[in-house]
Structure 1
Amino acid sequence: MTLALLPRYDEPRLLTAQMELIDQSFGIAMLGCSLAAMILASGLAITGGHPGALPWAATMVVACAIAHFGRLAVPDRLTEARSGRYARAMTAMLVLIGSLWGLVAWLYLDIRSPAVVICVLSLIAGMSAAALAVFSACLPVAVGFFVPAIVPVWIVFLATGDIAYLPMFLGTPLYLVVLMIFARNYARVARHAIALRFENLELISQLRDQTARAGQAQRQAEEANRAKSVFLASASHDLRQPLHALGLFVVSLSRTTLDAHQRQLLTHIEASSGAAREMLNTLLDFSKLEAGVVTPRPRPFRLQPLLHKLENEFAPQANARGLVYRTRDTTATLFGDPSLVELILRNLIANAIRYTRAGGVLVACRPRRFHVSVEVWDTGIGIPTAQHRDIFREFHQLGNPERDQRKGLGLGLAIVEGLARTMQTRVTLASTPDRGSVFRLRLPLAWTAPEEAADPQIAMRLDGLRVLVIDDDAAIREAMAGLLAIWNCPCRTAENEDEALALLDDFPPDLILADYRLRGHRTGHEAIAAIRSRVGRRLPAIIITGDTAADRLRNAHADGTALLHKPVVPGELHAAISTLMRESEWSRAEQ
């Protein structure tokens, strides 16, 4: 029962922290104890005639020195493995030192000399108060000093048998109890503070772990995003190659004699090829935005011709779905990049038609004071408010859990937001489920009249234009040669740069059509540069690529060579060649 009432040491982790607190002030405590003992012994020897007090003081000094330097000889005393042994050893040393203080009271507390009583009691009380401050972090250590230092004082007053010392007889154990209570409270406060420190350390550790995991997750997300871009670029390139060849073969096939059934099959082939080309072009637009190669070229332009062009393109699609397509005429002149505005409206209108089952689509322009709001209204399925931000994320679609490819890839609105951000404007949305949606594109009004474009010239004929085709795909070389033959263009094809250079002596080209990626880790840019170096002039050249990787797009645009993306529509290729050759003629004329 007695053992159960004694204070116990805490668990190793907590005990280690408690002993760290005591260890910080232990040296000062031992020094103070030694000085107090020497002062008391000197006073007793000089004024009280007790020369035996000096050996007592010497013993106290030796005990304090052993306690102080002995602990320093144990370097791992403040580890969890050794803290229990250290606490017990310190308790034993403090029991010895406390007993020495109790011994001086037993030997020299002469109640007939009030001065000696006051001196002894003051120093013992002072040492006990100091021990309370220094050793209370670990209650057993503090108790190890209090009990042997104070109990002998109480016994001395008890032994007098004089009723005059009854207050001291009662006050001494009360003082010991008060010290014990304060020591227990201090120990509880220290234990709580240490526990809070441990919790803070654990929280910091958890925060570091979470930060590390967050950093790792961010790196994984960035890596996944890079992997996604690489996958999209590779998949787009590999799909564009056969589609590019298919489009060229379809044109050649359409120029041959076909019966009605064959014409119908050819129409289906062209429709399927066009749908695949539209999806890949959507991927290309998205890749351009991610690559940062979309540079707005703002200028004043009239909106009505653009709305009329979009109506001619999309009204038949709406009519085929039983929808009404309407455009509200406008005289507004806007300031922006008409090509990017057209791409934004094209995506918004295509989405409106795709998600509208009944009713129609309205494209209108609402003028404000200094800007206009170009609006696309529909009576479609509508968009819940909670989804208003999500629909602008890439690959996010509503009402298409089966991922029906006829409903697109889920990139249209991501492209819209990216293009609007590029033009430093925004697209807003208002929608009610089952009633429809309206997307609004904010554009500034132009304060100057647009430059009127010159009358478009009829596409120049390409008869006699010598074209050198460089492509490592045999099917594309064959299809391109067939298409150029239809346009009466003499053509030579080469698989790589070396073959192209070998053809120059017998076939000096007027134009180079080169694939971006060639065999042997060479590029079309490098082949064009080598040919231009050989012939000594800057030959007109067009790079035709299926790549959508960000670095490839940046490199292609930085070179300044004309760039087309597979699959190339023959009409697009013809227009690009016409424009390039006309610019080349103007450039030579200016020189």
Structure 2
Amino acid sequence: MTAQTTDPAAAARPRLRWLPRYDAPRLLAAQMSLIDQSFGIAMVGCSLAAIILAAGLMLSGDRPGALPWACAMVVACAIAYFGRLRLPGRLTEAGAARYAHGMTATLALIGALWGLVAWLYLDVRMPAVVICILSLIAGMSAAALAVFSACLPVAIAFFLPAIVPVWVVFLATGDVEYLPMFLGTPLYLCVLLVFARNYARVARQSIALRFENVELISQLREQTARAEAAQHAAEDASRAKSVFLASASHDLRQPLHAMGLFLVSLGRTGLDERQRQLLAHIEASSGAAREMLNSLLDFSKLEAGVVTPRARPFRLQPLLRKLENEFAPQAEARGLVYRTRDTTVTLHGDPTLVELVLRNLIANAIRYTQRGGVLVACRQRGARAAIEVWDTGIGIPAAQHRDIFREFHQLGNPERDQRKGLGLGLAIVDGLAHTMQTRVTLVSRPGRGSVFRFHMPQAWDAPEDTPRPLAAHSLDGLRVLVIDDDEAIRGAMSELLSAWRCECRTAESEEEALAALAAFTPGLVLADYRLRGHRTGQQALDAIRQQLGRHVPAIIITGDTAADRLRTAHATGTALLHKPVVPQELQAAIDTLLREAATQGKGAPDRQAAVAK
């Protein structure tokens, strides 16, 4: 014979598969937490029921064992209640299994005590006692169904020892009259088990759903945290971009500002025809660079929030005619037709901002049109007017209609050709439209062209007549103090002012400017915004005015485009020009200050007289 070894535990497992098993630790911990919430009330109720039953049994007859039984029940319930509190981590995944086993054993003991009272005192000859015992056992079983069914093994541990002895008592009578009780008791037990199983399934599903919700909430929080981190990163990147652009713009404006001033001085010297052509090319390149920097400045102004519309009634036709005179030669040079549809409409808005919007739209249309032409028109739509710029250019795909209004976004320029600009024109248009409480819409078909349209309210009041420009104020003999820490700019500004027959003194710092006042009393101060020693031109101007004891007309010249710097500079109210300064703009700003001084008698008012792009 071949020896055969068997593992008793392994042999027993198949026979025990029908028994209910504890769930996984995570689920079991949640089940025991549900039971633990009502466990104290259940033990108090069980103890009171035992005391009441014992009192009834003792009063109805000579049953001295009822009192010890009740005491044993109270002790078992107390041990169950207080003993569970000594289990460390009983509601954690690590301690849930031990808590479940201990509670199963405890409830099996309590159930056995209820079964014992049925075995000892269920006398079928005394119906009142039978009814009392059966009612309490049935009531305790129903309570156990509600409290302990979250974990099926725990509930079964109470049901079986509490109800099986009742069934055995009725079976032992052998009386046919108790056949209904004999059959009904196991039926009641089966019903309890079925309901307990269903309740356990519902509890399991509810707990699983709660876990899913917790996981979803956790995932949502993680996604929200990632989104917030991404948003913060984007905001930091945007701030870094703005700081970089402002710094780069300032550093580029310095030499361009000096170069522009030197070019004007150079143009006043005797040059031959070849030299004049070279000078024209240099001026054209300088103008292109200035145009790019001005686009950055316009964008920075919008970000800084210093662009404030000054709405008034104005006729649109003179503005359209002005733009036609400027852009028609550019269009003709590219072989395009530029047309303007005449209009008599009067708008209510800021003509300067409307002009800037149209200027960007027209320049963009000419830049991206190879053949055909550009049309600028206005259509009346009730109380509003639609201003339109049509072109027969390359068109814009529908997927790009929103993106083209983002900064630095360009179509058809993968090589980043600087002749096509920086991609800020439409971003500036969108920002200006928002400032004027309107929006720019686009209709376009690739290969067929585009039309940009924005609406403005019509004005029913007649616009104020534009005053005729007065003759330029003579600058002969004007005493000008120039404060700038850049030697090249001081030299170029001195050359330009001398060419205008001004008497000029230069200083590289606030201290040097104050020292010069002893021998030179200026009639005008031109100060750079950034000076040495972390001082500003406005601070130097305030010190000069305090030392002289009077108001001195002044212009602040800045190359800064950072949002906070723009807000600070505009808040002073002093006349402000942006580098690179075109000499005509500088002369116009000086002329405006002198005209105001002549009008008011003494000095010039301390307000913003001009803002050059």
Using the alignment, how far apart are the partners of 2:162 and 2:603 within structure 1?
112
Which stretch of structure 1 is more off in the superposition, 47-56 or 61-70?
47-56
Which of 328, 336, 342 is the matching residue for 1:315?
328
- Alpha-carbon deviations, 1:224-271, whole Å to 9, x = none? 222222122111111111111111111112222223332222111111
Indicate how the Cα distance of structure 1 residues 445 and 32 shifts in structure 2: closer, same or farther if over 3 A, else same: closer
Q: CA deviation at 1:574?
A: 1.2
Indicate how the Cα distance of structure 1 residues 444 and 119 shifts in structure 2: closer, same or farther if over 3 A, else same: closer
Partner of 1:142: 155
Using the alignment, how far apart are the partners of 1:383 and 1:533 within structure 2?
58
- 1:449-528 aligned at under 5 Å gives the runs 449-528=462-541
Which of 35, 41, 47 is the matching residue for 1:22?
35
Which of 278, 288, 308 is the matching residue for 1:295?
308
Using the alignment, how far apart are the partners of 2:178 and 2:343 within structure 1?
113
Partner of 1:104: 117
1:411 matches 2:412: no
Using the alignment, how far apart are the partners of 2:316 and 2:128 within structure 1?
110
Using the alignment, how far apart are the partners of 1:341 and 1:179 within structure 2?
83
Q: Aligned to 2:477, what secondary structure does the other structure show?
A: coil
Q: Aligned to 1:322, what secondary structure does the other structure show?
A: coil
Which stretch of structure 1 is more off in the superposition, 32-41 or 571-580?
32-41
Which of 382, 386, 405 is the matching residue for 1:392?
405
Partner of 1:179: 192
1:278 matches 2:291: yes
Which of 575, 587, 590 is the matching residue for 2:600?
587
Which of 93, 96, 105 is the matching residue for 1:80?
93
Partner of 2:543: 530
Using the alignment, how far apart are the partners of 2:115 and 2:439 within structure 1?
87
Using the alignment, how far apart are the partners of 2:55 and 2:461 within structure 1?
107
Using the alignment, how far apart are the partners of 2:190 and 2:346 within structure 1?
95
Query: Match for 2:303: what amino acid?
Result: E
- 1:149-228 aligned at under 5 Å gives the runs 149-228=162-241
Give me the identity figure in percent.
Answer: 77
Q: CA deviation at 1:109?
A: 2.2
Query: Match for 2:60: what amino acid?
Result: T
Using the alignment, how far apart are the partners of 1:590 and 1:547 within structure 2?
27
Q: CA deviation at 1:75?
A: 6.1
The 8 Å contact of residues 12 and 83 in structure 1, kept in 2 or not, is answered as yes
The 8 Å contact of residues 309 and 436 in structure 2, kept in 1 or not, is answered as yes
Which stretch of structure 1 is more off in the superposition, 389-398 or 186-195?
389-398
The 8 Å contact of residues 427 and 439 in structure 1, kept in 2 or not, is answered as yes
TM-score, with structure 2 as normaliser? 0.93
Q: CA deviation at 1:424?
A: 2.1
Partner of 2:72: 59
Partner of 2:585: 572
Using the alignment, how far apart are the partners of 1:132 and 1:327 within structure 2?
88
Using the alignment, how far apart are the partners of 2:464 and 2:41 within structure 1?
91
Using the alignment, how far apart are the partners of 2:474 and 2:123 within structure 1?
132
TM-score, with structure 1 as normaliser? 0.96
Q: CA deviation at 1:590?
A: 10
Query: Match for 2:420: what amino acid?
Result: K
Which of 303, 325, 328 is the matching residue for 2:338?
325
Using the alignment, how far apart are the partners of 1:512 and 1:230 within structure 2?
29
Partner of 1:132: 145
Which stretch of structure 1 is more off in the superposition, 78-87 or 478-487?
78-87
Q: Aligned to 1:257, what secondary structure does the other structure show?
A: coil
Which stretch of structure 1 is more off in the superposition, 379-388 or 228-237?
379-388
Query: Match for 2:333: what amino acid?
Result: A
Query: Match for 1:44: what amino acid?
Result: L
- Alpha-carbon deviations, 1:479-535, whole Å to 9, x = none? 111111211112111111001111111111111111101111100000111111111
Indicate how the Cα distance of structure 1 residues 151 and 369 shifts in structure 2: closer, same or farther if over 3 A, else same: closer
- Alpha-carbon deviations, 1:42-65, whole Å to 9, x = none? 232232432222211111111112
Using the alignment, how far apart are the partners of 1:91 and 1:368 within structure 2?
83
Q: CA deviation at 1:589?
A: 6.2
Which of 547, 559, 563 is the matching residue for 2:572?
559
- Alpha-carbon deviations, 1:188-214, whole Å to 9, x = none? 111111112222222222233333333
Using the alignment, how far apart are the partners of 1:359 and 1:383 within structure 2?
16
Is there any run of 5+ residues in structure 2 with no aligned partner, and where?
1-13, 605-613
Query: Match for 2:197: what amino acid?
Result: R
- 1:301-450 aligned at under 5 Å gives the runs 301-450=314-463
- Alpha-carbon deviations, 1:122-148, whole Å to 9, x = none? 222222111111111111111111111
Q: CA deviation at 1:162?
A: 4.0
Which of 261, 266, 269 is the matching residue for 1:256?
269
Using the alignment, how far apart are the partners of 1:451 and 1:25 within structure 2?
85
Using the alignment, how far apart are the partners of 1:25 and 1:369 within structure 2?
73
Partner of 2:4: none
Which stretch of structure 1 is more off in the superposition, 194-203 or 273-282?
194-203
The 8 Å contact of residues 48 and 116 in structure 1, kept in 2 or not, is answered as no
Query: Match for 1:308: what amino acid?
Result: R
Q: Aligned to 1:4, what secondary structure does the other structure show?
A: coil
Using the alignment, how far apart are the partners of 1:507 and 1:267 within structure 2?
37
Indicate how the Cα distance of structure 1 residues 441 and 107 shifts in structure 2: closer, same or farther if over 3 A, else same: closer
The 8 Å contact of residues 300 and 451 in structure 1, kept in 2 or not, is answered as yes
- Alpha-carbon deviations, 1:452-489, whole Å to 9, x = none? 23322232231211111111111111111111121111
Q: CA deviation at 1:432?
A: 2.1
- Alpha-carbon deviations, 1:56-81, whole Å to 9, x = none? 11111111121122223446322222
Which of 111, 122, 134 is the matching residue for 1:121?
134
Indicate how the Cα distance of structure 1 residues 590 and 234 shifts in structure 2: closer, same or farther if over 3 A, else same: closer
The 8 Å contact of residues 88 and 95 in structure 2, kept in 1 or not, is answered as no
Partner of 1:268: 281
The 8 Å contact of residues 477 and 503 in structure 2, kept in 1 or not, is answered as yes
Q: Aligned to 1:581, what secondary structure does the other structure show?
A: helix
Indicate how the Cα distance of structure 1 residues 329 and 42 shifts in structure 2: closer, same or farther if over 3 A, else same: closer
Q: CA deviation at 1:274?
A: 0.4
Query: Match for 1:127: what amino acid?
Result: M
Using the alignment, how far apart are the partners of 1:553 and 1:84 within structure 2?
69
Q: CA deviation at 1:275?
A: 0.5
1:542 matches 2:555: yes
- 1:230-241 aligned at under 5 Å gives the runs 230-241=243-254
The 8 Å contact of residues 115 and 164 in structure 2, kept in 1 or not, is answered as yes
Q: CA deviation at 1:164?
A: 4.3
Q: Aligned to 1:373, what secondary structure does the other structure show?
A: strand
Which stretch of structure 1 is more off in the superposition, 190-199 or 165-174?
165-174
Partner of 2:3: none
Q: Aligned to 2:556, what secondary structure does the other structure show?
A: strand
- Alpha-carbon deviations, 1:393-447, whole Å to 9, x = none? 2222222222222111111112112212222233222222211112223222222
Using the alignment, how far apart are the partners of 1:343 and 1:8 within structure 2?
79
The 8 Å contact of residues 551 and 603 in structure 2, kept in 1 or not, is answered as no
The 8 Å contact of residues 470 and 494 in structure 1, kept in 2 or not, is answered as yes
